[in-house]
Structure 1
Amino acid sequence: MASSSSFCPKHALTLFTSNNNRHNRVISPEFFVRFPASGSLGSSRCVVSIDSSNSNNNNNVKHRLMTSGSSAAAPVMDQSPTQTTSSPAVPTTVEVDLGNRSYPIYIGSGLLDQPELLQRHVHGKQVLVVTNTTIAPLYLDKTIHALKDGNPNVKVESVILPDGEQFKDMDTLMKVFDKAIESRMDRRCTFVALGGGVIGDMCGYAAASYLRGVNFIQIPTTVMAQVDSSVGGKTGINHRLGKNLIGAFYQPQCVLIDIDTLNTLPDRELASGLAEVIKYGLIRDAEFFEWQEKNMEALLARDPSAFTYAIKRSCENKAEVVSLDEKESGLRATLNLGHTFGHAIETGVGYGQWFHGEAVAAGTVMAVDMSYRLGWIDDSIVKRVHKILVKAKLPTTPPETMTVDVFKSVMAVDKKVADGLLRLILLKGPLGNCVFTSDYDKKALDDTLHAFCKS
């Protein structure tokens, strides 16, 4: 295997590229990204197989990451955590570095009680808060107060959407546009997403489209949104044939994560979000995965110190990937471990029947099973993944209604299909390593599907 390497001293990041020929077909170049053991994110490596047509885009990727706040060793929580009521005066901040579109992620307790954090990112005099029927009674008034406190010239409107993945569609999206147009929002207005991943995705897509683009702010209120969907600028809606097939990459002005909002989150939704936290450890951050194994009880008990750390570490991981590959030409796709199987589950059983994280958890087990069948990981990783998902109270098998044919039909229209080939994110090598590729034995995929569901 011929290889070349380049060294980026700023981040001690090494890139290795390779080309392989097999069966007279050019296999897409692979990018191996190794992060230093001494870095803030620990030691990990990710192997990404990228289409040749996109390789020029990846050559221009800028390797930048800025974080503020402590990068100290992970705190080890007591297995029976003690709740604390103290609120940090200054939020932990993670910066998503995208040049002139960079933005901060604020993480901490009581941040909705600090109006200056939101107001510094509102540039016009009009704000539209987009939320849903569940979140509005809890946090809408507090958010409006934070936007207007000491700032009476700002006009704040709101639109309250129905709650649920099944409403992440064009008809519901039009309600946001209706309110914006009726309120005569101009190009200097700001849309504020107050809610979970569905609200964040829909509000972001509305902001990207309204008047061809207005500013927006993310205020995620679920674990899922706080550690994943609110960061990175993926916005969109579902189509009846597939999840998130309609959308845009559009970055917010800031992400404000008030961990106090997790106090009102139902247990099932809290567990669902932990699937994305577990994902980061599996694909690129083995030390973080080991921390989760020791502290899952603290997370389920909503220990604020544990959650602040878990959210910060997750956001750091995602911020670095987004900074390297904003529009998912290769590396960013690895954040979708288990998602191809998981999205098929969500589509197959009907949107809203399974939470996204529940489907991703079952999908992760399937991806890990396939990785093992390919001989790319050892049995110990399979067992550890199953154990931590059970500990997190997440499903490890798809619903019984999912058949092999349903999986195959939905996966055929997945966004990661290229030139008729389904590309998957699979684990390969030691814990913390993954590959995004279509170069795998298709029998392994068939065997995994038949092992987990009926023909």
Structure 2
Amino acid sequence: MSHRSVAEAENCRLVRVELADRSYDIEIGRDLLPKIGEKFTSLFPGAKAAIITDNTVAGLHLETVEASLSKAGVEYHAIELPAGEKTKSYDGLTFACDAVLDTRLERGDLVIALGGGVIGDLAGFVAGIIRRGMRFVQIPTTLLSQVDSSVGGKTGINSGHGKNLIGLFHQPSLVLADTAVLDTLPRRDFAAGYAEMAKYGLINDPDFFVWLEANWQDVFAGGSAREEAIARSCQAKADVVAADELENGQRALLNLGHTFGHALEGMAEYDAERLVHGEGVAIGMVLAHEFSVRLGLCDPAVTDRVIAHLKDVGLPTGIDEIPGQKPNAELLMDFIAQDKKVSRGNLTFILTRGLGQSYVEKSVDPVAVKDFLTEKLA
């Protein structure tokens, strides 16, 4: 990954996701929300919009988006859902689909996803299935969604069987990442997004991880390092998505920490007071490194370094830090067995041979995983 390929334009950084006739830009910069109307009319002349958001984000940013669209003469309809992971459900999907259909928007109109990962995943899924496919724009309002979930076209909802098991690939037409909106994020939510940022370094860019170790405080404070880190993260994901859009191969690397993390989220019943996605990923990345050490693949010093950095930024690094009832290995294995990365009963994990040396292992022994988790939970 090279951040030199990130372009500069109109006081924002541009990252291009190259997917032939479905290519699109990620625009990253401060105070982009007030410009959405102008951007919308230039890219989608004559189109109308349905804005899907949640009640928390609506209170912070919907008025700005509505004012910009109105000024540009764009007809729009706003649809609000409850905030939280539980909105990414069958009920949330039904409500949002019916609300969009109520607006009488046509296939050539657009859905705007204004919110974090929950809204982005849900609204993208809605756009993908309404009228067999509408265009949509991602306006991610959390760090996690700006560096991860808004890029790459993964959309969907959760099931009682596990996270993100119902969905489809549906690429956005534009991603607009306004870094100023991150100033309103609680520190816990910002840290959760940072876990995904650190992930890119731990996958295959140790130089970026070293850079984050040196610059994370400026990233949190909103200095120039914040936009640099977001742009480098988006470029990393764009490169992987362009090479493997439907996750048939190396895109699976982006799931570092997620197999364990998703199981922990399921165990916590997607209760954000107990565990949010980025925290699950942080613990999951530690578990992936520890499991790699157990298999003799990785130096324990690497795991110690990962734990130290995640602790520095205020992220949990162990299962015992999750409030509430302690999980058992069998319950976690049930969630892992439902994971999308299971193939013919074999477990696929992202393991590592060192700092920034992750790889896809498609034949992990379930017994070894269960023994490892049993030991961790003892």
**Partner SS for 1:184:** coil
Name 2:48's counterpart in structure 1: 126
Number of positions where the alignment pairs a residue of Structure 1 with one of Structure 2 = 371
Shift of 1:41: 5.0
More helix by share: 2
Partner of 1:434: 358
SS state at 1:438 partner = strand
Higher-Rg member (1/2): 1
Correspondence for 2:342 among 406, 417, 426:
417
Return the offset for 1:392. Answer: 1.4
Task: Describe the shift of the 1:427–1:166 C-alpha distance in structure 2 as closer, same or farther (beyond 3 A).
Answer: same
Residue 76 of structure 2 aligns to a residue whose secondary structure is strand
Percent of residue pairs bearing the same amino acid type: 43
Structure 1 stretch 349-358 or stretch 116-125: which is displaced more?
116-125
Q: Which residue of 2 aligns with 1:376?
A: 297
Q: Deviations over 1:387-417 (max 9, x none)?
A: 0110111111123521111111111110000
Q: Give 1:374 shift.
A: 1.2
Asked if the contact 1:95/1:104 (under 8 Å) is kept, the reply is: yes
Structure 1 position 358, deviation (Å): 0.5
* Alpha-carbon distance between aligned partners in 2 of 1:286 and 1:41, rounded to the nearest angstrom: 13
Gaps of 5+ in 2: none
CA distance in structure 1 between the partners assigned to 2:304 and 2:267 by the alignment: 27
Which amino acid in the other structure matches residue 131 of structure 1?
Answer: T
Alpha-carbon distance change, 293 to 377 in structure 1, aligned in 2, over 3 angstroms: same
Matching of residues 78-227 of structure 1 within 5 Å = 89-114=10-35, 115-149=37-71, 151-152=72-73, 154-227=74-147
In structure 2, C-alpha distance between the alignment counterparts of 1:364 and 1:294, rounded to whole Å: 20
Could you tell me how far 1:440 is from its partner in structure 2? Answer: 4.1
Map of 1:58 onto structure 2: none
Question: 2:330 touches 2:370 (CA, 8 Å); kept in 1?
Answer: no
Residues 1:343 and 2:262 are matched in the alignment = yes
* Structure 1 residue corresponding to 2:283, chosen from 362, 365, 375: 362
Question: Which of the residues 183, 198, 220 maps onto 1:263?
Answer: 183
Q: Determine the C-alpha separation between the residues in 1 that align with 2:41 and 2:364.
A: 50
Alpha-carbon distance in structure 2 between the residues aligned to 1:179 and 1:443: 46
SS across alignment from 1:439: strand
1:32-54 deviations in Å (ceiling 9; x for gaps): xxxxxxx7259xxxxxxxxxxxx
1:89 positional shift: 4.3
SS in 1 for 2:137: strand
Deviation of the 1:125 alpha carbon: 2.9
Letter of the 2:182 partner, please give it: L
Q: Using the alignment, how far apart are the partners of 2:218 and 2:371 within structure 1?
A: 37
Is the contact between residue 424 and residue 436 of structure 1 (CA under 8 Å) also seen in structure 2?
Answer: yes
- What per-residue deviation string (whole Å, max 9, x for no partner) do you get for residues 286-320 of structure 1? 1100001111222232x231110110000000000
Aligned twin of 1:393: 314
Are 1:370 and 1:444, in contact at CA under 8 Å, matched by a contact in 2?
no
1:452 corresponds in structure 2 to: 376
The answer to whether the Cα contact below 8 Å between 2:333 and 2:370 also exists between their aligned partners in 1 is no
Q: In structure 2, what is the equivalent of residue 30 of structure 1?
A: none
TM-score (norm 2): 0.94
Provide the C-alpha distance between the structure 2 equivalents of 1:277 and 1:359, rounded to a whole number of angstroms.
Answer: 14
- Measure the CA separation in 2 of the matches of 1:297 and 1:452: 31
Moved over 3 A (4+): 439-444
Amino acid at match of 1:271: A
- C-alpha contact 2:218 2:225 (8 A) present in aligned 1: yes
TM-align CA RMSD: 1.6
TM-score for both structures, normalised by structure 1:
0.79
Say if 2:326 is the partner of 1:326. Answer: no
Distance 1:373 1:443 in 2: 13
Supply the distance in 2 between the matched residues of 1:441 and 1:179 (Cα, whole angstroms): 45
Amino acid of the structure 2 residue aligned with 1:448? F
Where 1:321 maps in the other structure, the secondary structure is helix
1:40 equivalent to 2:2? Answer: yes
